[in-house]
């Protein structure tokens, strides 16, 4: 009898607790399950997007090999429009920019690079786009615009490349002392085993070698 009474008391307490918190608990469970379902759905969506983008990127690589510039640009547009959040869209835009540049279509090349800068989600891809766009601006003699682009933040591993490109632009402006300083920074920031050092050294030597030291 005591056991039955204790059971009844526990059941009454449970009913009271459920009456007070049951509705809240139900909603918490519903929200948690909805969140899990949304997370699973998002992961599936992301995997599906990545798969489709990779297939399109493969098609672009074939078009690049065939030197079919028109098809390359179509594929790049499809990737940026439909799969803009994937890495393939960034890689595709960079590849399409190179193809356009090689075809002397600087307007398209600049637009592709600017897309990566504005919409890219990877700092390394964005840095590559900035350096390449600065190179086109150099060719167009848009020196101030190029230097402004290179004054933005870059990942540390791009310090040598950025300094080298700054040196090129400064040479274009005939600011040779500043160019020498930029090339010296490029040498200091470029690994000794990197073959690019030879070209940087040649450019530095061509404008007079080591930059002058200021007297303190």
Residue 8 has pLDDT above 90, yes or no: no
pLDDT digit string (tens) for 56-73?
A: 889 989 999 999 999 999
| Residue linked to tokens 């090999």 | 65
Specify the pLDDT at position 211: 61
pLDDT digit string (tens) for 19-67?
A: 766 676 666 666 655 555 554 554 554 566 677 888 888 998 999 999 9
Q: Which domains, from first to last, does the chain contain?
A: 24-118 (no CATH), 122-211 (1.25.40)
Specify the pLDDT at position 52: 83
Pair of tokens at residue 189: 């920031």
Contacts of 54 (CB under 8 A, 6+ apart): 88
Q: What percent of the chain has pLDDT over 90?
A: 62
**Higher pLDDT, residue 161 or 44:** 161
| Residue linked to tokens 């900035």 | 130
Residue 18 has pLDDT above 70, yes or no: no
Contact 134, 101 (CB under 8 A): no
Instruction: Give the CA distances from residue 32 to residues 19, 21, 36, 96, in Å, rounded to whole numbers and listed in that order.
Output: 21, 16, 6, 43
Residue 215 has pLDDT above 90, yes or no: no
Contact 152, 160 (CB under 8 A): no
Specify the pLDDT at position 214: 42
Specify the pLDDT at position 1: 46
pLDDT tier at 155, thresholds 50, 70, 90? very high
């Amino acid at each position: 009898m005591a056991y039955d009474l204790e059971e009844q008391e526990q059941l009454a307490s449970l009913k009271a607790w459920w009456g007070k918190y049951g509705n809240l608990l139900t909603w918490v469970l519903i929200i948690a399950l909805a969140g899990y379902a949304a997370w699973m759905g998002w992961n599936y969506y992301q995997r599906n997007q990545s798969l489709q983008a990779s297939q399109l990127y493969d098609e672009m690589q074939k078009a690049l090999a065939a030197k079919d510039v028109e098809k390359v640009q179509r594929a790049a547009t499809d990737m940026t429009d439909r799969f803009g959040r994937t890495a393939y869209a960034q890689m595709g835009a960079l590849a399409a920019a190179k193809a356009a540049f090689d075809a002397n279509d600087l307007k398209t090349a600049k637009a592709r690079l600017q897309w990566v800068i504005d919409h890219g989600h990877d700092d390394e891809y964005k840095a590559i786009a900035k350096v390449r766009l600065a190179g086109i601006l150099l060719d167009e003699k848009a020196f101030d615009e190029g230097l402004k682009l290179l004054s933005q933040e870059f990942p540390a591993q791009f310090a040598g490349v950025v300094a080298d490109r700054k040196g090129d632009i400064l040479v274009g402006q005939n600011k040779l002392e500043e160019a020498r300083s930029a090339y010296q920074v490029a040498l200091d920031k470029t690994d000794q085993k990197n073959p690019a050092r030879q070209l940087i050294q040649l450019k530095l030597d061509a404008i007079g070698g080591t930059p002058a030291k200021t007297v303190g």
